[in-house]
Structure formats: C-alpha cells, structure tokens
A = this chain, B = another copy of it.
Amino acid sequence: MELLNIINNNARIIPTDLSIHTQYLLPYLDDLKRASEDSTFSTPEASIRLPFDEEIRDEVRRLATKLQNPKLKHIVVLGIGGSNLGTQAIYEATHGRHTEFRPLRLFFGDTVSPRLLTYLTKILIEGTESPEEFVINLISKSGTTTETIANFEVLYERLAKKFSAEAIASRIVATTDEGSKLRHTADENGFHHLSIPKNVGGRFSVFSAVGLLPLELVGIDTKQLLDGARDMAELCLKTAENPALTSAALTYTHSKNGININNSFFFNPELESCGKWYRQLMGESIGKEKDIDGKVVRTGITPMVSIGSTDLHSMAQLYFGGPRNIFHTLIYGPNKGFDAQLPSELKLQNLVDGINGKDVKSIMNAIIGGVKAAFVKNAMPYTEINFPEINEYYLGQYLQLKMIEMMFLAKLMNLNAFDQPNVEDYKDETRRLLSI
C-alpha cells in the first residue's frame, strides 16, 4: 500500500500551533473510528463506514451485472450536487474530459438546461436503437429534487414514444433514501432501486450506491477506489499523526489569520471536477450561519478551483500580487499511458528555450517547480498532494482524505458538518413561484 504523497513543509504554520488543534481533536478521532465500525450507519459521520461495507458494493455489482450487456453504450446520471459531483470527478479524472471516442460513456444531466436536454435527447433517443443500449440512473437523496425529476420527465416522455414502458423501466435505476417517496414510485413503476443510508448526506455519498453504480457500469475499478478510501480512512483514524487532521488544522489556523479562501490548484486539467466536488464539500460543510450551539457566527471558507497551467495565464497575477488571503493546495500526478515527446529539432526555433526533446510531462513539472519556487520566494503558504498515479486507488484516497478533513475542520470550528439549513429560503420561494 502506497499513499498519496502529502507535503506540508511550505504551509507556513508553526508546529506548536498545529499541535494545540490536533490535541483538541483526539476525542473526535474515537467517534470517527466508531462510525467506521458501525454497520448500521447510525452516526452523523456514517459515510466513513461506506468503503468498509461489502454489502453495498455487492448489491451494486449484482445490479450492474444485470444491466450490463454488449450493447450498453450510454449511462445517463440524472442528479445534481451530491448526486453527481463525486461520480463526475472520478469519471473525468480517470477517462479525461473528452470522451467522445469511447464506446461506453457517462453523461450527466444536472441542472435544467434546454441545451443540455437537447444534447441528452440526441444521445438517448436518436442515438439508441434498443433499451439495452442505455441505463438511466435517477439519483435524488430526498427523492424530490426539482431539476432531477424535471429532466427525467422530459427524457422519459421522449423515450416512451420509442420504446415500451416495460422495456424502459428495466433500464432505469432510482438511487434514493430507503423511505423516500421516489423509492415507492420507483417500485410502482418497476424500476430498479438502490438505497442511500439515511445518515450519509449527498456531499459525503460518493462511496455509496450514488457513485458506485454509474462508475461500475462505465468500467471504473470500484474495488480499487474503495480500497484507496479504506486505506486512507484507516490511516486517518489511527493516531493524531494523520494527513486529514493535519490538513484540517492547517486550514483552520490560516482561516483564523484571515486566509479565508481555499484554492485547489490542479495541474492536471482532468481533475477540475475533483475541485467542483470539493467546493460542495467545503462550501456546505463549513459555510454556516450558526455554530453547533446555535450562536450566529456567519463563518466559512470560500473554496475555489484553479487549473495549472491554464490559470497561471489568468489568476496568477492576483495570487502573487494581490491580497494574502488564499491558502493553496497544489495537486498533481502522472496519467499512466499518456505522454508525448517534443521533437529534438523544433519547427519553430528560438522561441522557447529548453523544450526540444523533452516530454510534455517534464515541461509541466518545470512549470509546477516554477510555481512552487515563486510561492516560497513570496512567502505564500501552500501544501501539496502528489498522486503517484491518477487512478482509482489514489482517487479513493484523495476523496476520503478530504471528507475526513472536512469533519475535523467542522469540529475545530464548532460547526455541524452535515446540515445545510440556509438553502431553504430560495427553495421555499422557488416552490411558491412554481405553484403559481
């Protein structure tokens, strides 16, 4: 077992400051350990249990086997927020952002967008000749997500003009809370279904059926993914010397000093969606009006995502010249089987020195090295996550690391990591407007 290489030596925090926080968190470590052993998923931290639970994966695999066939080519995930961000992160990280030449693909219908529905219609209706060619995975924890149900209805009506209700039903999986209304409706309509444990919130659900079914169907190695998550969980539940706790303490200490923006700086463009997943995790878990005692605190750290080297040509001037209010995490790693070499004699000579004969990877490594040196020169705090390889195993580690980190961070900030009470205002008003 090899681990993500996490390098904190430029985080610019005095170790004694850190140890105060790690001491404070030790009792919570025991809670997390218990949560990981609790097969009834009864605690708020229940998501930690997921990679240890073989039943969930077995159930997903049985259903996946039933749905798989040589004709299968389109897996459409209808879900938004916690119902699709983790899946999309892992899919794009492993398959890249450009998948049009792949015979078997994942598609995502998240928000209600006429353009997106036009595209999904082309894929699902014009692009299929038999129901065996697709699976629709309708994912909603509550079962009442407006966008997800609306997208389903538009696509279903169009499919129903082409195929029989029975045939379509056999290709639909509803993933939702055990007791949700969607679960009942799915049963009535003869859809397949998978459950999300009640205490596993959307943003912590990537290792539940929410992520596992579509990933399994598209050929992702979910065993490796869960192995990575489990290995990281075990490491982070053992002692105070663990990367999730350290990362939480670093982030917390910086935020106390006014560094209230958190930049996930990925130097592999295919990891952008990992950043979008992390935005939800951090935004919802620690962006809070009230603390755990009900006191109004209006706190939070704003997560942002940057892509290297793209954003060096866009945001670097702000990072290096602007206010010192950002804590950066540089994240990078090689993609096995992908590389390209520059010719030793360039067509365009004398424009850029030192790139002839190099491979593309080492050019990017020079850019990462340049960024790190500039951070050090400018006394800017950063930390690093170096993937030995961008694959399922290390992605499992990364996602699990960040979820545990967020629980620690919420604990340090005296916040409930698992609720999102302040989204009700806009939802109430949207419901009112829809009822007119």
Interface residues of A (CB under 8 A from B): 80-82, 85, 96-98, 100-101, 110-119, 121-122, 143-147, 149-150, 152-154, 156-157, 160, 181-182, 185, 189, 202, 260-261, 268-270, 276, 279-280, 282-284, 287-290, 298-300, 302, 304, 307-326, 335, 338-343, 346-356, 358, 360-361, 363-367, 369-371, 373-374, 377-378, 420-423, 425-436
Evaluate contact between A143 and B370: CB separation under 8 angstroms.
no
Q: Which residues from B are CB-within-8-Å of A369?
A: 429-430, 433
- Ranked 4 nearest A-B pairs via Cβ: A81-B313, A287-B318, A300-B322, A370-B430
13 contacts between A and B (CB under 8 A): A96-B118, A112-B360, A150-B352, A150-B360, A153-B355, A157-B342, A157-B347, A283-B322, A287-B318, A298-B324, A320-B423, A366-B433, A370-B428
A119 with B96: in contact, given A300-B322, A314-B276 (CB under 8 Å)? yes
Contact with A82, one of B113, B313, B371, B433 (Cβ below 8 angstroms) = B313
A311 to B, closest residue via Cβ: B279
Chain B residue at smallest Cβ distance from A369: B433
Bound together, the chains give a CA A429 to CA B375 distance in angstroms of 11
Min Cβ gap A223→B in Å is: 24
Given known contacts A117-B360, A351-B149, A433-B369, A378 and B261 CB-to-CB distance under 8 angstroms? no
* Min CB gap A367→B, angstroms: 5
Report copies per complex. Answer: 2
The answer to whether A431 and B283 touch (CB under 8 A), given A338-B114, A338-B118, A425-B377, is: no
> In the bound complex, do residue A260 and residue B325 qualify as a contact, i.e. CB atoms below 8 Å apart?
yes
B122 near A101: Cβ-Cβ < 8 Å: yes
Q: How far apart sit A273 and B260, CA to CA, in the bound complex (Å)?
A: 25
Nearest B residue (CB) for A85:
B314
Bound-complex Cα distance A308 to B342 (A) = 41
Tell me the smallest distance from the CB of A355 to a CB of chain B, in Å: 5
Question: Are the C-beta atoms of A323 and B300 separated by less than 8 Å?
Answer: yes
Q: What is the distance, in angstroms, from A418's C-beta to the closest C-beta of chain B?
A: 11
List, in ascending order, chain B residues with CB within 8 A of A154's CB. Answer: 340-342, 360
Residues of B within 8 A of A288 (CB): 317, 321-322
User: CB-nearest residue of chain B relative to A80?
Assistant: B313
Partner of A422 from the list B147, B302, B316, B338 (CB cut-off 8 Å) is B316
In this complex, the member of A114, A287, A429 whose beta carbon has the largest number of chain B beta carbons within 10 angstroms is A114
Q: Give Cα A145 to B348, complex, Å.
A: 12
**Residues on the B chain within 8 Å of A81, using CB:** 310, 312-314
**Given contacts A80-B309, A101-B122, are A113 and B360 in contact (CB under 8 A)?**
yes
